[in-house]
Every structure is written in C-alpha cells, then in structure tokens.
Structure 1
Amino acid sequence: MKAAVLNRVGDTKLELREDVSTIDVGPRDIRIQVRATGVCHSDVSAMDGTLPALAPGIIGHEGAGVVTETGAQVDHLAVGDHVIVTFVPPCGTCPNCLRGQPHLCAVHAIAAFTTPRFRVGDTPVFGYAGLGTFAEELVVPADGAVKIAEDVPFEIAALVACGVTTGVGAVVNTARVEPGADVLVIGCGGVGISVIQGARLAGAARIVAVDPVLDKHEPARRFGATHVTTPDGLAACNAELTANLGFDYAFDVVGIPATIRSAWDNARRGGTVVVVGAGRADAMVSFSAQELFLHDKRLLGSFYGGANVRRDYAKMLELWRSGRLDLSGMISKRLRLDEINDALEVLRSPGTLIRQIVSFE
C-alpha cells in the first residue's frame, strides 16, 4: 500500500512509498481502511522532534475510515463499521480510566513506542502516536476506534479525531467556561479556532482572539471571536475590555514560553490559564513563587481536551448536526496523499489554512 514515511526525525519531507504493509491483526486489533486524515501541526512537531516520535515511522494521527478486519476477541466493532481513530485509546481498566480520566491512559500509548505496526519492505516501522494515518490502512487496538454513523462524512469525522476534540474539550472539559465569561484565545490555527468555537458554545460574552497573522483574523471572527488583535495590540485590548483586570479564562494554543506567559499575564486574579499548545520538552516557563501565591490563578494543562472519546466524539458530531459546531467551514483544502509534503510546508509557514484534509476516496 501507499504511505508517507518519515525516515529520520529532523527530515522536512516524507517519502511516499508503495511497499508499505501493516502488521497482522491480533486478537484484540482491527484493520482500518483510512478514508480521510487531517494534516495537523503536531505532525510537523513530530517530524522536527518537538513531540516524541520514532523513525522510521508513518506520521499522521487524525483520521477516520472503515473497519475491514477484526480480531477474534473484538466484539464491539464489525467489518464495515465507520470509525474515528484516537491516538490515546482508553483501556478501560487502568487507574486513569477508572478515575474518569481516560485521556491519560498510558497502556496503549506506551505500546505505541515499543510495537512497530508497519513494515517498509522487511524493516519494522512505527506509527506516530500509535496510528500513522498517512497510510492507506492501519492495524490498531480495537480500543483505539470509536464507531460513528455511516452518514457522517469521513472528512468531518477526521477533524473530530484530534483538533476539534482538543480545542472544544479544553473549554468544556478542562476549563469549564461558564456563560458570560470573558475568554482570551492566543493562536488561531485549527485548534485555536476550535477553542473559539468551544467558548462560543459555552456562552462566553466576549472572546478575544490573538494571532500575529492578519489573514487569520477574519476566520477567527467568523467562528465566534468578538474581538481580534495581534500580540502587540493585546495590552490595549485588555485595557479597553477589562480595565486591565484581565480575562476570566486565557487559553494558550501555541505552546511556547512567550505565549504561555502572555496568557498568564492577561488572566485576571483568580482566573484560569489553560495550556493547550504542544510545546518542546526543553522549553521552560518562569513564574515567581510570590505571583503563584498572590494572584490565585489556576494554571491548567489540557491534554487532548480532557476527552472521553467514547462520550465526546458523539457530542461533537451532535453539535455539528445541530449546526452549533461548524466543521465543514474548518476544511480549507482537500489533498491527495502525494501532496502531503506541500501541506506540511504550509504548516511551517504563517499560512492561513485552518485544516487541510487528505482524502483517500
């Protein structure tokens, strides 16, 4: 089959190969024919080493498709089912799952770094985050797929697999924004737009979107931002809207020290700061002991939007069906797999595309 292979961490291009195969389906595994995958900035971060990835490997972690084979012990999925995949499959029995935090389940996540799921010729190859959706087929644990209705377009389903769930979930699961709140969102890429939509859904009174790329300001307004500004204009916006008291909720959707610090500085005393962006392991953010105590702010990480995928995938799709969550409008470009390197290059530049989707139709 065809797949886009990362030969070495640090490579800026993927190699499109046609001699890729999957491992065999184990008793608790399923085989999926990938029908659509999003191109996420986290894929670029995996390639350059910002996020942990193994090479050689197949990148891609945001996808949807059709089950074509099931293992002997799989009883909740069947051949022909349409599914969304997740890069954090909940095992259902570990301490994190049992305490109601299935997005922190490490059982399958650890296996993703020890168990190659592809072969290029005779060479074992890993799937990024246990998936590798830049391939025509996957073999994954059955825990890593959630059945959806057959009338959901695969491109819409793929968005839910990562970006939308991460962004909306950060608002409704992690921060639990209440109606009437003032919300600040730093970063207006695909996940940032999802945070904006989540804040709108939660009933925020004012949603301030911040991005240095001016061409991202109109889409931010379209998806729900009441105000938009550049980082240089944020101080004036804070002064005008809050009299410098700060915002109730500040979301960093970039993941670098400067933007995390900006989110903190622009949140009010007693407010909530949520770090959604995926940063480097060696990127350090400094806070004084006094300000942590004195300002009484909550500083929260939000991994995968605190999602329970078996609950939240269905919720996102119901919000889409009702017209309250705009997913179609987030798809800015449709691609073929052989255009994947062009798509990744866009993400490395301050482009205006919200989400590029590779279709295997």
Structure 2
Amino acid sequence: MKAAVLVEPQQPLVIQDIAVRKPGPREVLIRTAAVGVCHSDLHFTDGIYPTPVPVVPGHEAAGVVEAVGSEVGTVKPGDHVVTCLSIFCGYCEHCVSGFLSRCVSPRVRPQPDDEPRLVREQVPVQQLLGLGAFAEQMLVHENACVAIRRDMPLDRAALIGCAAVTGYGAVTRTSRVRPGDTVAVIGCGGIGLCAINAAAIAGAGRIIAIDRVPGKLELARAFGATDTVLADGDVVADVVDMTNGGVHHSFEAVGLKVTTEQAFRMLRRGGTANVIGMIPPGVKIELRGTDFLSEKRIQGSLMGSNRFPVDMPGLVDFYLQGKLHLDKLIASRIGLESINDALDELRRGELARSVVVFDGVA
C-alpha cells in the first residue's frame, strides 16, 4: 500500500510503498476512504511532540473494513467505520468508570515485542497514535473504530473521527453546556468550529467566536456563532464587556499559553475554561490565584472526553438531520500526493480542513 511517511521531524512526508501484515486476533484491516488533515498532526511532523520514526501520521479517518481477526466481534468485512485515537481496553479503572478517552492500557496498543503491523524493506514503520491514517490501509485494534450507517458520506464521516467528536465532546461531555449558557471559543479551526456547532446544538444562549483571521469568523457564524471577536486587541475585555461579566464556558482550541490564559480570564464567577489545544511540552500557564476565590475552574479536555462508540453514531445522525455542519468544514479535497501542501496550509492557518480522499473506496 502507499502511505505518507515521516522519516525525520521537520521534513516533508514521503510517499512510500509499505507492507501491512494480516490482522491479529483483535485487529481490523480497513481500506481508507478519507482522512482529514488535522493541526494535531503538525505537532508531531514539526517535532514539537517527539515520536519514533519512521512513522505514518494521520488520525482523523473513515473507511471500509476489509478483514478482521478471529476474536473481533464489533465490526465485520464491508462495514463502514470511523476510527478514533481514543483506543480503549474496556477493563481498566478509566474504562469501567465510563471515561474511555483516558484509557492508556498497553493491551490495546502495539508493544515492542509484537510483530510489526507495517514494514518497509524489513524496517518497522510506526503508526502515529495507533492509527497511521495517511495510508491506503489501516490495521488497528477493534476498539479503535466503530461502525456507522452506510448512507453517511465517508469524506464527511472522517471529520467525526477527531474534529467533530473533540469539539462536540468538549462542549457536551467535558464542560456540560446547558441551554442558555454563554460560551466563548478561541480558535476557529476545525475543532473550534465543531465546538461552536455543538454549543448551538446544546442550546447555548450566546456563542462568541474568537480568531485572528476574519474569514474564519465569517465561517464561525455559519456554524452557530452569535457574536465574533477579531483577536487584534484586548480579547478578554471585549468578551467581559459583551457578556456583562464573562462567559459560563470558554474553550481554548489553539494550544498557546496566551490563549489559554485568556480563556481563564474571560470567565464569569463560577465559570469553566476548557483547554482543547495541544500546548507544547515545557510551556507553563500563569493564572491569578485570586480568581479561584470566584470558583472559576480550568480543565483539560482529551478528545472531548468521548465515549466514541456511542458518540460517533450519534454525530452521524446529527449530520444527516442537518444539525452538524461538516460540509462547511471541508475547504478542499486532495489526493495523498498533496499531503505536504495541506500541512503547509495548516501552518499558515488559512483553512478549516483539507481532506485526503482515496480513489475507488465506497
């Protein structure tokens, strides 16, 4: 199969022919139909977050099951599926408590002594985050994918695998936005736009979109934002003034020190700041201690605190009902050979989502 491989950090991905082995007892072989190019991939390709190389990046994908291992009971050949990096074991403390996205059990992730899933010229090739979706095929644990309705377009379904489930989950699961609450979302990329969309679905009374690119703010209104703030001044003061004291919930979808601190400072008394963005290792966040006397909270949101086997089919239903605006999220559809151009567009911050589409897949 052909795959886009990161050979060295801070270097372009290279299209290579990779051999993929047959599925193990609890593994699923998927023919990739589409994969979104997510900003999180940049953290690894640019070396901000270290990862072993060579490695196939990509994690926001959908496809069709080609083969399953002898013990797989959740999907079968021919099923349309969405993958998720929140691979869960079902047995650990987090899983049995209902927090599947927190699972880090080694039993569902490749181990050094395992037979490599991917090989090129007898050299093992890693799968980033256990998926490696910038490839014509994915070999994954069965608890890394979920079957969906066949009437769901797979290029749109791919976006549910990260952007939609992360943004929606942050709003509905991590922070539990209620009807009438005020919400601010900092960063109107794919995940931020999905958070705005989710806030609208949840019935938020006021949804404030914040970004430095005017075009993204226009797009945010199409996703449900009631107000927009161009990030060229005192963003916190603008939001506090607009809401007469601050918002109930803020969502940081950029991954920077300054925007994380802004997310906390724009809260009203009792408000909650949710950090979705991947803050680089070593960065420290500074908060005013007196703000905690107002019962303000700040918390992380890992992949939207998702329970993806339940959440993703529900998000498919929302899309088919016209509530989840995935069509507007796709800025361009490209072939795998254009992957480096798509990563450059992410670095410039100009587009919401590019989607790699593979030919000949349903």
- Name the TM-score class by shorter chain: over 0.9
Contact 1:50 1:279 in 2 (8 A): no
In structure 2, distance between residues paired with 1:303 and 1:313: 16
Contact 2:236 2:262 in 1 (8 A): no
Contact 1:112 1:126 in 2 (8 A): no
TM-score, length-normalised on structure 2? 0.95
In structure 2, distance between residues paired with 1:67 and 1:143: 13
Q: Describe the shift of the 1:327–1:178 C-alpha distance in structure 2 as closer, same or farther (beyond 3 A).
A: same
Deviation at 1:200, TM superposition (A): 0.6
- In structure 2, the partner of 1:92 is 90
Contact 2:6 2:56 in 1 (8 A): yes
CA RMSD of aligned residues (A): 1.6
In structure 2, distance between residues paired with 1:140 and 1:239: 46
Deviates more, 1:342-351 or 1:88-97: 88-97
Contact 1:60 1:133 in 2 (8 A): yes
Equivalent positions of 1:165-244 (< 5 A) are 165-231=165-231, 232=233, 234-243=235-244
Percent identity, please: 38
Please, which of 51, 56, 61 is the counterpart of residue 54 of structure 2?
56
- In structure 2, the partner of 1:38 is 36
Q: Describe the shift of the 1:206–1:99 C-alpha distance in structure 2 as closer, same or farther (beyond 3 A).
A: same
Contact 1:271 1:298 in 2 (8 A): yes
Deviates more, 1:103-112 or 1:178-187: 103-112
| Aligned pairs, number | 356
Deviations 1:308-357 (A, max 9, x none): 01110011111111111111121110000001010000000131x21111
Q: Match of 2:109, SS?
A: helix
Deviations 1:115-161 (A, max 9, x none): 64311221101001001110001111111110111111111110000
In structure 1, distance between residues paired with 2:325 and 2:5: 32
In structure 1, distance between residues paired with 2:257 and 2:302: 17
Deviation at 1:4, TM superposition (A): 0.4
Contact 1:112 1:127 in 2 (8 A): no
Establish whether residue 306 from structure 1 lines up as the match of residue 301 from structure 2: no
Q: Describe the shift of the 1:237–1:246 C-alpha distance in structure 2 as closer, same or farther (beyond 3 A).
A: same
Contact 2:240 2:247 in 1 (8 A): no
In structure 2, distance between residues paired with 1:104 and 1:325: 25
- In structure 1, the partner of 2:70 is 72
Q: Describe the shift of the 1:113–1:171 C-alpha distance in structure 2 as closer, same or farther (beyond 3 A).
A: farther
2:209 partner letter:
A
Q: Describe the shift of the 1:125–1:109 C-alpha distance in structure 2 as closer, same or farther (beyond 3 A).
A: farther
In structure 2, distance between residues paired with 1:261 and 1:340: 33
In structure 2, distance between residues paired with 1:211 and 1:142: 38
Q: Describe the shift of the 1:99–1:52 C-alpha distance in structure 2 as closer, same or farther (beyond 3 A).
A: farther
Equivalent positions of 1:252-263 (< 5 A) are 252-263=252-263
Contact 1:59 1:128 in 2 (8 A): yes
In structure 2, distance between residues paired with 1:136 and 1:8: 21
In structure 2, distance between residues paired with 1:233 and 1:323: 35
Deviation at 1:288, TM superposition (A): 4.0
Deviation at 1:6, TM superposition (A): 0.1
- In structure 1, the partner of 2:316 is 317
Q: Match of 1:229, SS?
A: strand
Deviation at 1:242, TM superposition (A): 2.2
Deviation at 1:109, TM superposition (A): 8.6
Deviation at 1:295, TM superposition (A): 2.3
Deviation at 1:9, TM superposition (A): 2.2
Q: Match of 1:325, SS?
A: coil
- In structure 2, the partner of 1:140 is 140
In structure 2, distance between residues paired with 1:211 and 1:329: 17
Deviation at 1:233, TM superposition (A): 5.1
Deviation at 1:112, TM superposition (A): 4.6
Deviation at 1:84, TM superposition (A): 0.7
Deviation at 1:289, TM superposition (A): 3.7
Deviates more, 1:230-239 or 1:47-56: 230-239
Deviation at 1:222, TM superposition (A): 1.1
Please, which of 105, 108, 131 is the counterpart of residue 107 of structure 1?
105
Deviation at 1:291, TM superposition (A): 3.1
Deviations 1:67-121 (A, max 9, x none): 1111111122211111111111121111110011001111259735746431122
Deviations 1:208-264 (A, max 9, x none): 111011121110111111111122152453254223x11111111111110000011
In structure 2, distance between residues paired with 1:186 and 1:339: 29
Task: Mark the runs of 5 or more structure 1 residues left unpaired by the alignment.
Answer: none
Q: Describe the shift of the 1:204–1:318 C-alpha distance in structure 2 as closer, same or farther (beyond 3 A).
A: same
Deviation at 1:48, TM superposition (A): 1.6
Q: Describe the shift of the 1:272–1:208 C-alpha distance in structure 2 as closer, same or farther (beyond 3 A).
A: same
In structure 2, distance between residues paired with 1:235 and 1:272: 15
Contact 1:90 1:143 in 2 (8 A): yes
In structure 2, distance between residues paired with 1:107 and 1:239: 42
In structure 1, distance between residues paired with 2:164 and 2:42: 18
In structure 2, distance between residues paired with 1:146 and 1:286: 39
